[in-house]
């Protein structure tokens, strides 16, 4: 059952990244969390915590709807920041580097690479 939650995140994550690339300042952190969630060495409890934060990020209908220009991602940023702090021991430099490399090579969310 827990793995189903992670699979749903995997399906919706990159389309959301493509949609918001260049528009949200915390995208590198969300991508690093995503890579940490996929890492086999990350414990299941941490993966589920990360999946919860990423699910909140993926959902357009949350505390502040994402359609509100400028303010719509403030709550998402808070959730991502809180989980990043809570799961920081599992977000390794390699996850951060992969996130930075992705953003450097896909600045506008081009997922064709």
Residue 30 has pLDDT above 70, yes or no: yes
Q: Are 49 and 86 in contact (CB under 8 A)?
A: yes
Of 20-24, 32-36, 61-65, 109-113, least confident by mean pLDDT is 109-113
According to DSSP H, which parts of 1-113 are helical? 2-20, 27-38, 44-58, 74-86, 93-105
Global confidence as pTM: 0.85
Q: Does 79 have pLDDT greater than 90?
A: yes
Could you read off the pLDDT of 41-62 as tens digits, one per residue? 999 999 999 999 999 998 876 6
Q: What is the mean pLDDT of the chain?
A: 86
- Round to whole Å and give the CA distance between 85 and 93: 14
Per-residue model confidence (pLDDT) at position 101: 94
Contact 26, 5 (CB under 8 A): no
Q: Alpha-carbon distance 41 to 38, whole Å?
A: 9
CB atoms within 10 A of CB 52: 14
Residue 2, pLDDT above cutoff 90: no
Q: Is a pLDDT exceeding 80 seen at residue 67?
A: no
Alpha carbons 63 and 48: distance in angstroms, whole number: 21
- pLDDT for res 113: 40
Nearest-angstrom CA–CA distance, 50 and 80: 8
């Amino acid at each position: 059952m827990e793995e189903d939650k992670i699979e749903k995140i995997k399906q919706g994550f990159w389309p959301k990244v493509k949609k918001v690339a260049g528009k949200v300042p915390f995208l590198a952190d969300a991508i690093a969390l995503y890579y940490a969630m996929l890492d086999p060495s990350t414990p299941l409890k941490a993966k589920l915590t990360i999946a919860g934060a990423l699910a909140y990020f993926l959902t357009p209908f949350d505390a502040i709807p994402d359609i509100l220009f400028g303010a719509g991602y403030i709550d998402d940023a808070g959730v991502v920041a809180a989980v990043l702090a809570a799961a920081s021991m599992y977000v390794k430099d390699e996850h951060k580097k992969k996130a930075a490399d992705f953003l450097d090579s896909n600045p506008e969310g081009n997922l064709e690479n």
